[in-house]
Chains A and B, each alone.
Chain A
């Protein structure tokens, strides 16, 4: 029970359009644990209706503003977009300041559902929580579901990359394209937005990007299964310039995935990645518990560390008898 409602009741309410219920389900998934598992159980068969779009890029590229402009446009066209905006937690205090809504006022007014989320530090927590939260939004009937992250850490990039369509936002100047390349953003992109294209050096930025894509084509660094070279769209998020074109490109990409049957492949990959990160998490927990137990019960005394590890692994994975 959560408050006075069961998870099943909350899911039904969320699917009936009650935003408060959706928000509470997101909280349960984010907090992890048994209730999160219940939510996963109640939603996992209700999904795959939403177009999941990942948006990432270097800090200051205008991701929030562009996400807001894009989702506002879609909402005005009768879609029901939701945004999951991920920002880093402070590594020192675990707290966070989540400021994305400031730039999404119009989107809120247009009916876009926005949820801010902190990375909360703990290892792999983001990778565990985000797929489940996307599932809640999908099950609640939102479409598209946009996951926006700062493209600096590997986990953040991976989280945004676990999408049907991955949009990487860069800006002219300050070597954004180079930064994006270093952060591994080029390999995951299906679409690029060169934002702030009203700035004088926007043409240079676009050229830089083309050049870098040429290079990555040559060296084969593109992600497997990507149908073609990414589309580049020039945008000015603050005035809405290029946003219609971007919306078109996002739709076109989904269409291309569908017609080439890559969509199912991608979604299967996404499930595999999630299974993998959940399994990693379970194994990590189990191995920590086993090590703790071994040091408490003294069974490892006088044994070489490698031998202990081998014995515990055999035990965890159901191998030969672990007792001596």
Chain B
């Protein structure tokens, strides 16, 4: 957008950036990954939503595309996230509830029916069974004539944070990380427009961690994937440019801004100095931000609009590449359409009214913000040193050791309990909860009541697929999955592609993998 002059509300012209170097776009990218940040391109206002059956979601996708969107964001239901078919006993009451149910390639086909997969970018929030869902997506695309190399999108595929925070794991850590690296190897070789991992601190923070823990654990996980992929034979610059990050934006404004700035600096330095990356794109940490769901209160929910707006502002001041703003009623129920619109409007106010997008890293040079950035970096480095020692010089081994000993979970539980006690003792004020409570009890929860029909329908569809497929081909493909899984250096993706293409179900594939890999039970740290 060269040529356009940016002016304040009162007409004062402003430069793209202020201060001395290193400037935004310059190593170590503390101030941002682009020289003029949002002047050339605003952040992506990516709104994520979960709903009902594959057809429902498909309708919503098409509406979105008609109104000019190009990115599709897919939320899966709990049974899918846990690698179970809709008729599994665990699935009872959860089918289609928090997202869409995908049991077979047929569901994936319905989900993207009539959509040109070569022309959109698809984000899939899935971890434990991520490579299986990726395989389904590829099969759907190729059956509709779109070759895999043209597919663009992002797989969350960040299994380490599941052991630390979100607890949606299927297998023990080591074979799970092997699945992550298999997806990295596969996409690096065959799907150059695909981001194979979105390293996510969001869930670590939601589980109750501090900002410093979110920063440190997330980047440690990122380094662990880099080590795992390099150990699997990839060169760092072949895949690192396609790693992305996903952070939380919580309510302590300057701490959050410092966290985002520190994240970029640490990543750039470590990738260059420790992992030998030379491609500039490998050094630039790009991230998506979501406001802190855990900070939303059920009391006086309208107040959440202010919280969300301030958290969104911190994300923008921290230089995020995309942003999701929570709806203010989410502490009570699934968001209403109106609440979701207000959340999006808050981003638009920040983007188009406040002027903060005119200047890159507008807080850079503030004594407090620079100190906070340094301080969070220092605290993160302490964690890296601890993990490095645990792992005998390997962050990957250190992360494994700290997962197995329950260290991450214990650190997060301590932080979470400390916070609760502070709120409880009144040492920390939460508006509407322990102070300014007039009007706090007026509102009551309205829950979305989901009928049994979705579940019954989905189970019928699954049954129909099971009855119409070639069972011998399914059995043969599953035994190949088992034998490839038992061979640690074999990439599982080809076997997974074959299995899902002959209509093996998600649950069947996961069960076969459990037979080889085992399951995982965390060491209880409460």
Contact = CB atoms under 8 A, between A and B. Distances in A.
Contact of A102 (B404, B518, B524): B524
Interface in B182-238: none
Interface string B396-416: 000001001110000000000
B90 interface: no
B87 to A, nearest CB: 20
B521 A65 contact: yes
B432 interface: no
A97 interface: yes
A207 B523 CA distance: 27
**Contact-residue size bin, chain B (C-beta under 8 Å from the other chain):** 10 to 19
A175 to B, nearest CB: 13
A196 B404 CA distance: 10
A195 to B, nearest CB: 11
B1 interface: no
Interface in B496-526: 518, 520-524, 526
A103 B521 contact: yes
B322 to A, nearest CB: 37
A239 B526 CA distance: 24
B172 interface: yes
A60 interface: yes
Given A238-B172, A238-B518, A239-B518, A99 B524 contact: yes
B405 A97 contact: no
A110 to B, nearest CB: 15
B79 to A, nearest CB: 19
Nearest to A241: B518
A105 interface: yes
**Contact-residue size bin, chain A (C-beta under 8 Å from the other chain):** 10 to 19
B526 A99 contact: yes
Contacts of B405: 60
Nearest to A103: B521
Nearest to A62: B523
Contacts of B521: 65, 102-103, 105, 238
Contacts of A65: 521
B518 A103 contact: no
Contacts of A238: 172, 518, 520-521
Interface of B: 172, 401, 404-406, 518, 520-524, 526
Interface of A: 60, 65, 97, 99-100, 102-103, 105, 173, 196, 238-239
Give the 9 A-B residue pairs with the shortest CB-CB distance, closest first.
Answer: A99-B524, A239-B518, A102-B524, A97-B526, A103-B521, A60-B405, A238-B518, A99-B526, A238-B172
24 contacts: A60-B404, A60-B405, A60-B406, A60-B523, A65-B521, A97-B524, A97-B526, A99-B524, A99-B526, A100-B524, A102-B521, A102-B522, A102-B524, A103-B521, A103-B523, A103-B524, A105-B521, A173-B401, A196-B404, A238-B172, A238-B518, A238-B520, A238-B521, A239-B518
